[in-house]
Amino acid sequence: MGRVLAVIIWILTLGSVALFVSKKWWFPPAISEHAPALDRQFMLTIVIVGIAFTAAQLGLGWAVWKFRDTADKSRATYTHGSNKLEVLWTIVTAAIFISLAVMGQSVWASLRLNNAPAGSFQVEVVAQQFSWNFHYAGKDKLFGRTDPSLIDDSALNFIGLDETDANAKDDAVTSALAIPVNRPVELILRSKDVIHSFWVPPLRFKQDLVPGMAIRVHFTANKVGKYELACAELCGQLHFKMKSYMLVLPEDEHRALTQLSQEAFQAKMKELLDKYPLPPNE
Ligand SMILES: [Cu+2]
């Protein structure tokens, strides 16, 4: 029985490693400037923990095999273990994990803690149960005033835009996100109710939206196309319906779109969403 268990442990271990090595289920191709650095970091982490996992599980199988029940009825010996070894592997593990965290932190922080580059295209994102609102500043590049007391979902004023504000005249609010290619984009993320999470897997970008906060993040998408955008936070019963699309458009097509006022913007957006197909593997 001990031998069978050992072999099962080894098969399970090698089988799970094979799933990763084969890359049968893997990330979609990346579409952002920071993605290669993030993917490298991910790869480094998974290789290191993969080696540790494999070694530990093969060792477990070896122990199960070696110390299995046999005809030998002699008493087992008690050992307290080795303090030296315990200190050693704790230090080695801590050093590896702290180094990985420090290395990964630089990419993460560069998109969140630094200001967005000058000339970034700004979009205000307002999440709610269970939809996305993207607020564009329009021709004047100034966002119209918003006020929570003006929020009226039945009148389709999901973000409480003050229509009497001059800056709001050319603003547009849509349920899908349109950004320019190869130009930094700054999102200002807010939530009306609970915590949501903005997630576009090919962008390698995920960020929570927290009620009461305006979280600024930035990134640069470098491949034109249509991509799925999901809420990655279980935010309520209809969480599964909280999905939309992100369009990454050529600069001129994007400029033409953002010059349009609300109704024309909506119509054009619909047209563009039909024009661009999803990447084949999605
Ligand atoms: Cu959500």
Token pair, residue 94, equals 């801590």
The pLDDT value recorded for residue 55 is 96
For residue 128, give the 3-state DSSP assignment: strand
**Distance in Å, CA 231 to ligand 1 centroid:** 5
**Distance in Å, CA 129 to ligand 1 centroid:** 6
**Distance in Å, CA 263 to ligand 1 centroid:** 26
**Distance in Å, CA 176 to ligand 1 centroid:** 14
The pLDDT value recorded for residue 109 is 85
- One digit per residue, the tens of pLDDT, for the chain of length 282 reads 889 999 999 999 999 999 999 988 899 999 999 999 999 999 999 999 999 999 999 999 999 999 888 887 788 888 888 999 999 999 999 999 999 999 888 888 888 888 888 889 999 999 999 999 999 998 888 888 888 888 888 888 888 888 888 888 888 899 999 999 999 999 999 999 999 999 999 999 999 999 999 999 999 999 999 999 999 999 999 999 999 999 999 999 999 999 888 889 999 999 999 999 998 864
**Distance in Å, CA 218 to ligand 1 centroid:** 20
Residue that is written with structure tokens 């290619």 in the block: 181
User: DSSP assignment, residue 16?
Assistant: H
Torsions phi, psi of 146, nearest 5?
A: -120, 150
**Distance in Å, CA 229 to ligand 1 centroid:** 11
Quick one: which H or E segment has residue 263? helix 262-275
The pLDDT value recorded for residue 281 is 66
The pLDDT value recorded for residue 115 is 86
Token pair, residue 280, equals 């084949």
